[in-house]
């Protein structure tokens, strides 16, 4: 955890002058693979990822934070990665989401609005033998266990 905390500090330091960028997650995976997910309100480009990688890598080496050889990967979260931050929801308004809720149910729908407390979606309600209908539904963040953006290839 000490490594991850130091990496978070280093990333925040590097992007401090770039308010449109934000840190999503830092994970040390088995095999000494350090993964940093950074995103931006308008996405993030490869140059920004490279600059963050150089900054973090340089300081980790200087400070000898990780004693063994490691792989450092800096990228935006993949499309299949769950949303973790409110800012990720903000940038996905208008897209289809798949939600898993704390009560075990699942919902799908278009993200209409994001507030401090939760989201509002146009949820697809499917009843057996009937055409699907759409109903606006408010869902509190505290009730969501996982959210993924759904990709349609239609």
Q: How confident is the model at residue 1 (pLDDT cuts 50, 70, 90)?
A: low
Q: Which domains does the chain show, CATH number per domain?
A: 2-75 (3.30.300.70), 86-149 (2.30.30.100)
> Hey, which bits of the chain come out as E strands?
21-29, 33-40, 71-75, 96-101, 106-114, 118-125, 133-140, 144-149
pLDDT (tens digit, 9 = 90+) per residue, 129-146? 888 788 999 999 999 999
User: How many Cβ atoms sit within 10 Å of the Cβ of residue 136?
Assistant: 12
Q: What is the pTM of this model?
A: 0.83
pLDDT (tens digit, 9 = 90+) per residue, 59-109? 999 999 888 899 999 999 988 899 999 999 999 999 999 999 999 999 999
- Residue 97 pairs in a beta bridge with 109, 149
DSSP letter for 142, please: G
φ and ψ of 20, to 5 deg: -80, -15
């Amino acid at each position: 955890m000490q490594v991850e905390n130091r990496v978070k500090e280093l990333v925040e330091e590097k992007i401090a002058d770039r308010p449109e960028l934000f840190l999503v997650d830092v994970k040390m995976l088995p095999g000494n693979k350090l993964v940093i997910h950074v995103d931006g309100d308008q996405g993030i480009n490869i140059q920004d990822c490279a600059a963050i990688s150089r900054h973090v890598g340089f300081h980790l080496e200087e400070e000898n934070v990780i004693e063994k050889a490691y792989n450092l990967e800096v990228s935006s979260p993949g499309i299949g990665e769950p949303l973790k931050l409110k800012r990720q929801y903000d940038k996905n308004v208008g897209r289809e989401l798949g939600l898993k809720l704390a009560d075990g149910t699942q919902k799908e729908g278009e993200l209409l609005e994001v507030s401090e407390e939760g989201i509002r979606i146009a949820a697809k309600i499917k009843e057996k033998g009937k055409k699907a209908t759409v109903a606006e539904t408010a869902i509190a963040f505290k009730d969501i266990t996982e959210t993924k953006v759904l990709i349609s290839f239609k």
